[in-house]
Amino acid sequence: MQTKLKQYTIAELCDGFVYNELEEKGLYGLSGRLTIQPEYQRNYLYAEDNGKKEVAVIDSVLKRYPLGLLYFNKLPDGRLEVLDGQQRITSLGRFLTDKFSVMNNELPYRFHALPMDKQTLIENTTLLVYECEGSESEIKQWFQTINIAGIPLNEQEELNAVYSGPFVTKARTVFSNSRNANVQKWSAYVRGSVKRQDFLNTALDWVSHGQVEEYMQAHRREAHIDELQTHFNNVIAWAESIFADCYSEMCGLKWGQLYDDYHDTTYNQKEMTQRAAELMDDPCVKNHKGVFEYLLGGEVDTRLLDVRVFDEATKRRVYRRQTDDARRRGVSNCPLCAMGHEAHRTKVWGEKEMEADHVSAWSQGGATTEENCQMLCRTHNRAKGNK
């Protein structure tokens, strides 16, 4: 791979700049010779958060701070593509075409309203560019290793760059598109940002059972995403078919994994929905996120719920009562030790050596109340297991 260091003024870079509002990307620069957002690049992010980042780019120029290196990929026909610097160039282009303002003497100014000397300063500021020529794989390998100023690429954005092609392009029109009307419905189950590729990443994770990169590699030349889309829709439809009500705790669960584990099991939607509502309201359930997997698994693994334990005052009262009673009768204060034949039959355990247990198991409807609390020695409590 060959690299050449070049200098361009901001006026040159932004000549012919067009911002596409619909796709939220900057298109061309250098009089049309430069493609600012090739298909493997991500959406423009600097306008988010009230445009703090794009304003910072202009402020840096006005203060003569360096903007950092830009990297362009030189194509065989001489055209250039931005490899790194897309967010900065788009900020500059948007400012030069009066898309946002910056503060000057405590007033907001669009570019063409700024004093002439400041306009000229911006236009004549030069930026350093590395122009790279090499094979597609060389460029992509290298693109994967450079760090993007300001907002580092996340894992999925990097994979989109490395495995760019018809598959990624098509997948992004569905899963990376904030105008897709389904996104709101999906947000009940999928956490993250459409623009930062979290939905695409989730869809790929589900269909590939965690093998995202291998899946992208295998499908990169395909122009359709049927399997990806169908599987994603199946998982969401399956979750909806079991739990009729939506809870915020459903968002971000491993639905793909739950689907793999349980979609062959038959569930009664009415019962499942009812049980979910009861457990969400149960003051003993501390981990509400675990409710859905607990129910899908047939209400066996109570660890998923992190069931609330007895409070210290209750434990102390029960310990006192049990220990006084045991001393009177000359037996162990652990009722299970007292029934045994070994040395512990008469052992009086210290408070710290005992743990609270539900006499009637919580999962069988036993309440977390003093009447249902007994203290057991550690060994017996752990052996009992099922809460």
Residue whose CB is less far from Zn ion, 153 or 377: 377
Query: Among residues 310, 359, 350, 314, which one has the least CA distance to residue 332?
Result: 350
What's the closest the beta carbon of residue 342 comes to Zn ion, in angstroms?
A: 10
What's the closest the beta carbon of residue 333 comes to Zn ion, in angstroms?
A: 9
**Token pair listed for 100:** 């946002």
Residue whose CB is less far from Zn ion, 294 or 349: 349
Enumerate long-range contacts of 279-286, CB under 8 Å, 24 or more apart: 279/305, 280/247, 280/249, 283/308, 283/368, 284/308, 284/362, 284/367, 284/368
What's the closest the beta carbon of residue 303 comes to Zn ion, in angstroms?
A: 22
What's the closest the beta carbon of residue 247 comes to Zn ion, in angstroms?
A: 39
Q: What is the C-alpha separation between 363 and 367, in angstroms, rounded? A: 9
State which of positions 280-299 bind Zn ion (CB under 5 A).
Answer: none
Stretch that binds Zn ion, among 68-76, 141-149, 219-227, 378-386 (CB under 5 A): 378-386
Q: Measured between alpha carbons, how far apart are the two ends of the chain, in Å?
A: 63
What's the closest the beta carbon of residue 295 comes to Zn ion, in angstroms?
A: 33
Query: Among residues 257, 255, 251, which one has the least CA distance to residue 188?
Result: 251
User: Which residue in the set 114, 159, 326, 334 belongs to the binding site for Zn ion (CB under 5 A)?
Assistant: 334
- Taking the CA atoms of 215, 220, 225 and 227 in sequence, report the sign of the dihedral they define: negative
State which of positions 348-377 bind Zn ion (CB under 5 A).
Answer: 377
Q: What is the C-alpha separation between 328 and 196, in angstroms, rounded? A: 68
What's the closest the beta carbon of residue 376 comes to Zn ion, in angstroms?
A: 6
Residue whose CB is less far from Zn ion, 74 or 384: 384
Residue whose CB is less far from Zn ion, 20 or 386: 386
> How many Cα atoms occupy the beta-carbon half-sphere of 222 within 13 Å?
11
380 scored as a contact of Zn ion (CB under 5 A): yes
Residue whose CB is less far from Zn ion, 89 or 337: 337
336 scored as a contact of Zn ion (CB under 5 A): yes
Beta strand pairing status for 25-26 and 19-20? antiparallel
State which of positions 65-124 bind Zn ion (CB under 5 A).
Answer: none
Q: How many residues bind Zn ion (CB under 5 A)?
A: 5
13 scored as a contact of Zn ion (CB under 5 A): no
Q: What is the C-alpha separation between 16 and 92, in angstroms, rounded? A: 12
Stretch that binds Zn ion, among 84-92, 123-131, 201-209, 379-387 (CB under 5 A): 379-387
Residue whose CB is less far from Zn ion, 191 or 382: 382
What's the closest the beta carbon of residue 249 comes to Zn ion, in angstroms?
A: 37
What's the closest the beta carbon of residue 357 comes to Zn ion, in angstroms?
A: 10
Tokens 């000057």: give the residue.
104
Stretch that binds Zn ion, among 30-38, 112-120, 318-326, 333-341 (CB under 5 A): 333-341
- Is there a contact between 29 and 17 (Cβ–Cβ < 8 Å)? yes
Stretch that binds Zn ion, among 18-26, 134-142, 242-250, 331-339 (CB under 5 A): 331-339
What's the closest the beta carbon of residue 310 comes to Zn ion, in angstroms?
A: 17
User: Which residue in the set 162, 337, 356, 373 belongs to the binding site for Zn ion (CB under 5 A)?
Assistant: 337
| Cα–Cα distance list, 371 to 318, 326, 356, 378, 379 (Å) | 9, 18, 12, 20, 22
Burial class from Cβ neighbours inside 10 Å (0-12, 13-18, 19+) for residue 190 reads: buried
Query: Among residues 34, 56, 35, which one has the least CA distance to residue 45?
Result: 56
Query: Which residues sit at the interface with Zn ion, rule CB under 5 A?
Result: 334, 336-337, 377, 380
